[in-house]
Structure 1
Amino acid sequence: MSPHLPTSLSPNSSIATLILAGGKSSRMGIDKALLLYKGKPMLQRVYQVAAECTQKVYILTPWVERYQNILPSNCNYLIETQPGKGPVNGLSEGLEQISADWILLLACDLPLLDVEIIQSWINKLSQIPASTLALVPRRADIWEPMCGCYRKEVKIELDSFLKSGKRSFQKLLSGIEVEALEVDEKIDLMLLNCNYPGDLK
């Protein structure tokens, strides 16, 4: 077992990581998950950090064969059945298939993830009230939903939200009970996500 694995979750609680790798990468021009950062595909970087923080890591994607060469052979893939519907829908699909009490949700384009920071967030989960459905970084009034923790019970809210035709993570998080994580300088750097080729420089 990795020394970084969570120790302060209650004995009956569990956490798994869900990495979303189903975006079109239209602004980047090529699949962001395969884009190299310091010689390593970004999805591989995200997976390796996730594997240090949680015992189970799942990749939600419609393109399993695309990533098999860069991820471990025992990687847990979930087939995204509604690609293009956005990350809220992706989280809902993941929760449908993952039995953990908490989900660490990560985008595939976060090359600067920090194990210690994420572990410190996981260590907070045992103290969060049952009514709080997520632990998510927030800058001023802007949530950073693609690097946060979600309680399995959020699925009810997600399904209702999606059924009403909404897709915005910002609107979702503004309508449920969320504990906001302050974004300091280190976390701000860690949350760098890559949408354009120049973002990697």
Structure 2
Amino acid sequence: MTSYSKSSLTAIILAGGISSRMGQDKALLNIKGIPLLQRTYTVASDCASVVYVVTPWIEKYTSILPPSCQMIQENTPTQGPLVAFSIALTQVKTEWILLLACDLPLLTSDVVQQWANFLPSVSDDAIAYLSKQDNLWQPLCGFYRYSCLASLQNFIKLNGRSFQGWLSQSNVQHLIVSDPDVLLNCNTPEDFNFITKQLENKS
């Protein structure tokens, strides 16, 4: 199997959610002393040559991210993550993009690199390489081809705002995930407590 090259991959991290179910900004939640967004950035930077963080609150996150992180101002946070992704995608110069939510505390660089090694074998007509749970694509932890931009922009012009709606119209290759826990998001205090215990058990 041909392994991927780090220089062939750009990472985009979406950090525009209002964290209403958590009750506080989950991007800044500390797990083992490290904010969630910083943990996700570390994974992304281990796997990709360039990392963008898309957020309405650039000043709030600058202090926890290195100067090499490229920040993109999200001016339409109420439009949702699909629009934020489309804005960031226009900056990309690589064939493949790793798209991540800001809150994936159980995701590791080793796992992402293992997934990325399959990118050279993804079908030429597939716009994305994503996992599934409960028969739904997991859009905020996976890979997209830059060539998806045209269809994404057309979908948004027609007032589409759902990743599932867009992906259902597209050719997506299934990424098999052996440990579904790596996809866990930290959306609620209960999630945070569960994930903290999971990490304690693994240490």
TM-score normalised over the length of structure 1:
0.90
SS in 2 for 1:52: helix
Q: Is the 8 A contact 2:55 2:72 kept in 1?
A: yes
Counterpart mapping for 1:55-134 below 5 A: 55-134=49-128
Distance 2:107 2:167 in 1: 22
Letter in 2 for 1:200: F
Distance 1:112 1:18 in 2: 18
Report the counterpart of residue 197 of structure 1 in structure 2.
189
Distance 1:82 1:8 in 2: 37
Distance 1:82 1:123 in 2: 34
Distance 1:21 1:140 in 2: 25
Moved over 3 A (4+): none
Q: Is the 8 A contact 2:123 2:173 kept in 1?
A: no
Letter in 1 for 2:182: M
Q: Is the 8 A contact 1:24 1:84 kept in 2?
A: no
Report the counterpart of residue 132 of structure 2 in structure 1.
138
- Calculate percent identity across the aligned residue pairs: 47
> What runs of 5+ residues in structure 2 fail to find an aligned partner?
194-203
Counterpart mapping for 1:143-154 below 5 A: 143-154=137-148
Distance 2:62 2:123 in 1: 39
Alpha-carbon distance, 1:40 to partner:
1.1
SS in 2 for 1:182: coil
2:11 corresponds to which of 13, 17, 23: 17
Q: Is the 8 A contact 2:8 2:49 kept in 1?
A: no
Residues 132 and 65 of structure 1: is their aligned pair in 2 closer, same or farther, counting only changes over 3 Å?
same
Alpha-carbon distance, 1:47 to partner:
0.4
Q: Is the 8 A contact 1:18 1:94 kept in 2?
A: yes
Q: How many residues align?
A: 192
SS in 1 for 2:77: coil
Distance 2:103 2:166 in 1: 22
Distance 2:48 2:188 in 1: 29
Q: Is the 8 A contact 1:139 1:183 kept in 2?
A: no
Report the counterpart of residue 4 of structure 1 in structure 2.
none
Q: Is the 8 A contact 1:136 1:149 kept in 2?
A: yes
TM-score normalised over the length of structure 2:
0.89
